[in-house]
Structure 1
Amino acid sequence: MKWCEVSIQTTHEATELISEIFTDLGASGVVIEDPELINDYITSGKWDYTDIPIATETEVVTVKAYLPVNGELEGRLQTFNNEVRLLGERGVSTVPGIISTNELEDEDWSDTWKKYFHTEKPGDRIVIKPTWEKYTAKDNEIVVELDPGAAFGTGTHATTSMCIKELEQLVQPGMMVFDIGTGSGILSIIAAKLGAARIRAVDYDDSVLKIVQENIEQNHVEDKISVGQSDLMKNVQGKANLVIANIVADIIIRLFDQLDDHLEEDGTLLTSGIIEDRIDDVINAAAAHGYGVVKRNASKGWACITFKKQA
């Protein structure tokens, strides 16, 4: 069987959304070639030796996926082009947006991307481990098993790693958590393993929900987490002590319209996925709804901001 490698050069902002488009088209895995991440590995000391040079241009990310060459391929490629164009119309920058395709002979390509993902410790306690690697937890470490070929969200991206560090501080035993735009379910799983009693994980894209459920069961926290489809919190009932929204700025801004009905009076909103240029927009939207900044972190051009209702 032959495969079509579909590749797009795009922005950090659009990476997650394009990965979701590929997943919707039937790609079982997505490869993200991020020069910032490669630079981090080179300078981290985790490799004994590498002849890969430090990248000086880090703005362009290459996202790749593999689709079978069959009668459906042309339609899928047209759909991909249309969905990328719609991202631009919704204000998400995808430049340079260069799309290319390359036909490959049948090979075990589904395993080749595994060399890019290894056990990582993005927080003080949380360890993210791919399902094919072995790892023995040390001291008070909490291990989360995840197959990054399933859906976007592995903990290595700055937006997710900042959320993980904050969750280690925010999650208290017995609390209720809403995870809006759950992606792979990684943040819900971490909240459960940190002691949250109940978590509602929702995503607008119902095609990822089966994958989320599989990741939850892989980590044995299905008794704590319920999964569902929802446009923000429209299909979420009750109020939470903590709401997580690792999405994009425009969606977070919309979230404030629904927040009072779903966040306890002394509850906390943890947001991420906000590019530097949109930080003020999000903070201003929060202030207009009576929410103030409690904590603000930044990494690699992204912001993670914690909000609470002002007195």
Structure 2
Amino acid sequence: MNKWQEITVTTTEEAAEAVANLFYELGAAGVVIQDPKVLARYIAEANWDAYELPAELTEAENVVIKGYLPMDDALEERLKQFSSRLQSLEKYFTQYLAEVSLAEIAEEDWSSSWKTYYKPEKIGARVVVVPSWEEYHPAANEVVVKLDPGMAFGTGNHPTTAMSIQLMEKYLRPESVVFDVGTGSGVLAIAAAKLGAVGVLALDVDPLAVQIAQQNIVENQVAGVAEARYNDLLAGIQGKSDFIVANIIADVILDLISQAKSHLVKDGCFLVSGIIKDRWPEVERALTEAGFQIVEHREHNEWVAAISRKAGD
């Protein structure tokens, strides 16, 4: 069994990207970035489904970066290079922090330690979300979405995502053009493509989300149908769609409603999710006042998802 040197560096948010880049320059066989602010934000916004993560990850003050190097004859020299380059970063940051610890990791532990949270799961009547490292043999009529969530995005089992997929299965018509606003891991965009959409535009304001979503789109072999793009909601987006989905938070959905109306064809569907139950009456009222007809809404624990249809033109 191969063994790996796990190098853990605790650093500041300001220096995190530079430290992570050192691992990539050394050819690390995997880099994990645990940024508590990013983790907390995605959990709060319901854009990430890893609510099971331990509190020490989300409540930490600094960023933790882990890189993995093979324990071979070159390891000692590579560690020296890493230490030297890490120390040289101090001159570029005013409050530089780089606390280093080392651990020996068996290959099977390295490849599976943080992946134990995620297993294949049938989310809707047809859609099965399968982590990219798992093998899965679909039954007849099942739609498989392969997903690698990275460190900041989940695999689809959060109620807000699950309800979105279930409503999408029910109301998304084949041959539709879909806009997925706040795409995160891209799970809804990929599901839409595999449910018969002919064009899917996955949008997010977080560059990391766009990168991961695009990787997942390619992994699922739907790059000819779907595309991930950096964008602030629907600002500047050209053309109209038949179906818009937004699994974000109530405040952002309220800002999105007028844009969604102008970007939907007549009778087009607007699927919203990620809404705390207490905020649903406010969102429902805003949708109705904007000319949307509520077709169905679902609740799971404290979360609400709803599908509405644009009336008129």
1:9-60 superposed Cα distances (whole Å, 9 cap, x missing partner):
9x9996154988xxxxxxxxx964269xxxxxxxxxxxxxxxxxxxxxxxx9
Residue matched to 1:2: 8
Structure 1 SS opposite 2:113 = helix
Contact 2:34-2:57 within 8 A present in 1 as well: no
Residue matched to 1:111: 112
- What TM-score results when the alignment is normalised by the length of structure 1? 0.71
Residue matched to 1:285: 286
Residue matched to 1:43: none
AA aligned to 1:33 is: E
Contact 1:152-1:184 within 8 A present in 2 as well: yes
Question: Matches of 2:176 and 2:47 in 1, distance apart?
Answer: 31
Question: Matches of 1:6 and 1:178 in 2, distance apart?
Answer: 30
Offset of residue 147 of structure 1: 1.1
AA aligned to 1:15 is: I
Residue matched to 1:190: 191
Count of aligned positions: 253
AA aligned to 1:106 is: A
Question: Matches of 2:164 and 2:45 in 1, distance apart?
Answer: 18
Matching of residue 237 in structure 1 with residue 256 in structure 2: no
Q: Which runs of 5+ in 2 are unaligned?
A: 1-6, 11-32, 68-85
Residue matched to 1:180: 181
Structure 1 SS opposite 2:114 = helix
Offset of residue 292 of structure 1: 2.6
Offset of residue 63 of structure 1: 3.7
Residue matched to 2:83: none
Change (3 A) 1:206 1:14: closer
Offset of residue 191 of structure 1: 0.5
Match for residue 52 of structure 2 among 15, 33, 44: 33
Residue matched to 1:215: 216
Matching of residue 170 in structure 1 with residue 171 in structure 2: yes
AA aligned to 1:302 is: W
Contact 1:31-1:113 within 8 A present in 2 as well: no
Residue matched to 1:263: 264
Residue matched to 1:145: 146
Change (3 A) 1:177 1:7: closer
Change (3 A) 1:139 1:6: closer
Question: Matches of 1:278 and 1:239 in 2, distance apart?
Answer: 28
Match for residue 15 of structure 1 among 12, 33, 43: 43
The percentage of aligned residue pairs carrying the same residue is: 37
AA aligned to 2:43 is: T
Residue matched to 1:67: 65
Offset of residue 152 of structure 1: 1.1
Residue matched to 1:24: none
Q: How do 1:58-137 and structure 2 match up within 5 A?
A: 63=58, 66-68=64-66, 105-106=102-103, 108=105, 111-137=112-138
Residue matched to 2:306: 305
Question: Matches of 1:117 and 1:253 in 2, distance apart?
Answer: 32
Offset of residue 166 of structure 1: 0.9
Question: Matches of 2:149 and 2:156 in 1, distance apart?
Answer: 9
Residue matched to 2:22: none
Contact 2:154-2:185 within 8 A present in 1 as well: yes
Contact 2:47-2:184 within 8 A present in 1 as well: no
- Give the greater-gyration-radius structure (CA): 2
Change (3 A) 1:259 1:295: same
Change (3 A) 1:104 1:293: farther
Across the aligned residues of Structure 1 and Structure 2, the Cα RMSD in angstroms comes to: 3.4
Structure 1 SS opposite 2:135 = coil
Contact 1:31-1:63 within 8 A present in 2 as well: no
User: Which is further off, 64-73 or 237-246?
Assistant: 64-73
Contact 2:264-2:310 within 8 A present in 1 as well: no
Question: Matches of 1:6 and 1:229 in 2, distance apart?
Answer: 22
Structure 1 SS opposite 2:121 = coil
Offset of residue 265 of structure 1: 1.0
Contact 1:15-1:61 within 8 A present in 2 as well: no
- What TM-score results when the alignment is normalised by the length of structure 2? 0.71
Contact 2:177-2:199 within 8 A present in 1 as well: yes
AA aligned to 1:181 is: G
Contact 1:160-1:272 within 8 A present in 2 as well: yes
Question: Matches of 1:12 and 1:297 in 2, distance apart?
Answer: 25
Contact 1:150-1:211 within 8 A present in 2 as well: no
